[in-house]
Chains A and B, each alone.
Chain A
């Protein structure tokens, strides 16, 4: 780990101004991704700005939306009675991220800012058409994810919360990577205020993506059979030691079918 200055501001404006004023300053949320990177000397920040004292955690449920503060841990989301009632698929997704320790440190904001191509939350955000709220603006999911580890966030921009429109039906099916247990393929299907949407994580070379062919099939006929008939091309999917692009394409089909069946 290289030396850096550790700061824990008490106000969002202060955190944002430190981050905006110094291109080498970095935000710290749960640290589940960031701290290993620091320990391996793969990142050399000038300042590490801990977001823990900004009051960014908490869950608010209205009739139509669930708003989750950026610093809310996966464990909190998984255990939340409100989330379980409004969007059970989201609580379940959070409860299957990593292990107990990761779930008690890792946050939804950290996960979305990082946008790991195998992370679970991006699939939920994209499939439900959620809105990423930052200290500056509101970003629609469709505009937020911009490829592997790339997002619409600007330097110094801090995610403050995520607003999910409550869907009528939703489910997430994850096929875990045998080593990391991140999603080797994860498919989130949703039918709700933002339409019928299918988002795939873990499989695409550019990170999470919407599966338009499946969305069309499901819009016409919300059934497992409808997606089972949709072929997913292997082009543009990841190939690595754990799975070929063809295998991932196949798994997208199976996970989608099972997700629709689970969503009812």
Chain B
């Protein structure tokens, strides 16, 4: 694999390691001599913690320490830090601010606010001893009324005394007056309430953290997408300089946003290891994960779409209640606010206004998850468009065609401030319909088709740096601050560099996840790694070749400008003088370094159209996805196999949210009822048909390589495509509305209600 490696379906070089059990996940990294931690969690959704008796646990065999909230408070350790400011978009009032930003100590003290909130940590010689002693920690609770449902938050029991109405923030964007005027003047206004179900991400590898403290420095081994961001956050928590914190990340079994943010256990292991003078490991169980991983989505939105007499959209107005959970997680306010520009979709929308109220409930905090607000927004728009078509008696495709932005309208600035650089939305729709070829429906089942467009703003994280080191053996090491969580970065970066450097991909080592070795990093998120980190790597490659050209000049006694590099050989123009990569490297007295930095001038806008075909058994409410087509534009495709993997997984996650995934709480006690895979439904391979994925790339004009980010698109388009298909199938039975997840039970109830 040499030049022109870009575009080839290189197989993942990490897979041999993953598939043969030789990956290095957190459980593989526990050092000899480490102590083991077990977390005691609140069994109540809301309770005063009257006392926490730890004597019996401390006296248990092998126990080294039992920590409570009081210990942390006494040591002045900060809690999990959250964003201090809300985002400003066009129309956001200057003085917008959180109504209440609660503290988020790593161990609850005084009050527990969700089932699973850490209350104490036991550290012992073995995991078994820690688990046994954890059962001896006797916390005395006085239960309080709890609130679970987002719609019940305002007016429900107060999660925080300081926020009696359970409001964390009120935020808005867009033009309220213009939207109001357009709605008042509209020929038609269609209204719809859309619930975006709360999901548990359930990555393959459960959460965990290994803390150690030596020589005045903390070392945390954990899974994260943003090692440097985590380092900085931990430095703040412990009140130390960044240089006193070292974060390392090895292989990570999935994140999807959920490992972005600092979580309490990461603080706790470091605190305990400093106290005990030995490494402390916490490897969370699946049960820990179900209770205490950050969860995601959980919005209730009222949507109004105004249309003129020609059925052209005149305004979109959205009012959203967004569940924050019991604490404000680090990026807990991001999804419902910062990514609302996705509401503009692919349509000409002359007026948009969105108002969001973030509310506390006695539930696990919510965080970003694959798309982080974009899937939620896309779902609202695409559901509303289909709803309007049905209510107004017009064909969905015709309504879309009348309102889609035309390629001639590009570049187009949306009313929420994005500047779409390119996009052929009508063409994408036409292609998607042409390529969609579902098999015949089974007899007696109802067939439905759903369409959903998306246009995402991605790769906006900021700058990323890349460093290359060429060693005398000719091999190259890339150091970059993004972080693979299973996406295949090792392959993608090596492939991109093979293309740029003209050497074999297997000569390139990719190093991520070490804040000591890698000076800085923005991290992985927002589909940014290849789009930003990739370009930084490409620039570093150019730097390396420039430096090598100088060296080649010295070696060949020629002037650098006369030397051209191609296919692994430096040649002096017009002569037969040349030196090959390896020979030149061998002359290096020491490793040669190169550097590249890329900060995009703006986001990129991957976009596309999803078409879902479903078959519904009207007798039982069961249904299946019969066919799925996605036409997509991700700009330059570096590796079509990796891209397909991203799309398969993204569509599966979006389908999972539409079809079955939901964190359910008892409405009275706020106890979670989905505490294991027995009750939390995750999609399986046999739930999905083979996907028809069609690439229609237009290179990003803002990106030297033309790359747009691809990581989140599948999850953005699939929920509305699937829901629109179900509503299409059920329309003949009179069903007009259906919430996610559309379980067979929910579909059956919708059918039964429509029959009444």
A residues with a Cβ closer than 8 A to B are: 1-3, 40-41, 175, 178-180, 182, 241-244, 247, 250-251, 254
Contact = CB atoms under 8 A, between A and B. Distances in A.
Given A3-B128, A178-B681, A241-B679, 8 more contacts: A41-B131, A175-B620, A178-B659, A178-B743, A179-B674, A244-B745, A247-B621, A247-B749
Contacts of A250: 748
A114 to B, nearest CB: 14
A256 to B, nearest CB: 12
Interface string B338-376: 000000000000000000000000000000000000000
Given A41-B131, A242-B743, A247-B745, A179 B620 contact: no
B743 A40 contact: no
Given A1-B128, A250-B748, A180 B620 contact: no
A182 B682 CA distance: 14
B752 to A, nearest CB: 9
Contacts of A241: 664, 673-674, 679
Nearest to B744: A178
A1 B619 CA distance: 44
A41 B664 CA distance: 24
B633 to A, nearest CB: 34
A242 B680 CA distance: 10
A136 to B, nearest CB: 33
Contacts of A179: 660, 674, 677-682
A243 B131 contact: no
Interface string B436-448: 0000000000000
B620 A251 contact: yes
27 contacts: A2-B132, A40-B287, A41-B131, A175-B620, A175-B622, A175-B744, A178-B660, A178-B681, A178-B744, A179-B660, A179-B678, A179-B680, A179-B681, A180-B677, A180-B679, A241-B664, A241-B673, A241-B679, A242-B679, A242-B743, A243-B745, A247-B621, A247-B745, A247-B749, A250-B748, A254-B619, A254-B620
Contacts of A3: 128
Interface in B672-705: 673-674, 677-682
Main SS class of interface, B:
loop
Interface of chain A, main secondary structure: loop
Interface string B649-682: 0000000000110001000000001100111111
Contacts of B748: 247, 250
Contacts of B677: 179-180
Nearest to B135: A41
A149 B643 CA distance: 47
Contacts of B659: 178
B116 to A, nearest CB: 15
Nearest to B683: A178
A73 B105 CA distance: 49
Contacts of A242: 679, 743, 745
Contacts of B128: 1, 3
Contacts of A243: 745
A8 B128 CA distance: 24
A243 B681 CA distance: 14
A153 B61 CA distance: 38
Nearest to A246: B752
- Identify which of A3, A178, A250 gathers the most chain B CB atoms within 10 Å of its CB: A178
A262 to B, nearest CB: 15
Contacts of A40: 287
Nearest to B665: A241
Contacts of B660: 178-179
A40 B677 CA distance: 14
A222 to B, nearest CB: 21
A1 B677 CA distance: 20
Nearest to A255: B620
Nearest to A40: B287
Nearest to B287: A40
Contacts of B679: 179-180, 241-242
B125 to A, nearest CB: 15
Interface in B110-140: 128, 131-132, 135
Nearest to B681: A179
A250 B622 CA distance: 13
A250 B617 CA distance: 14
Interface in B60-114: none
A3 B61 CA distance: 14
Nearest to B678: A180
Contacts of A247: 621, 745, 748-749
A244 B128 CA distance: 40
Give me the 3 closest cross-chain CB pairs, A-B, nearest first: A179-B681, A178-B681, A180-B678
A39 B443 CA distance: 46
Contacts of A1: 128
Interface in B693-744: 743-744
Contacts of A182: 678
Nearest to A243: B745
A244 B620 CA distance: 13
A46 B132 CA distance: 16
A241 B671 CA distance: 13
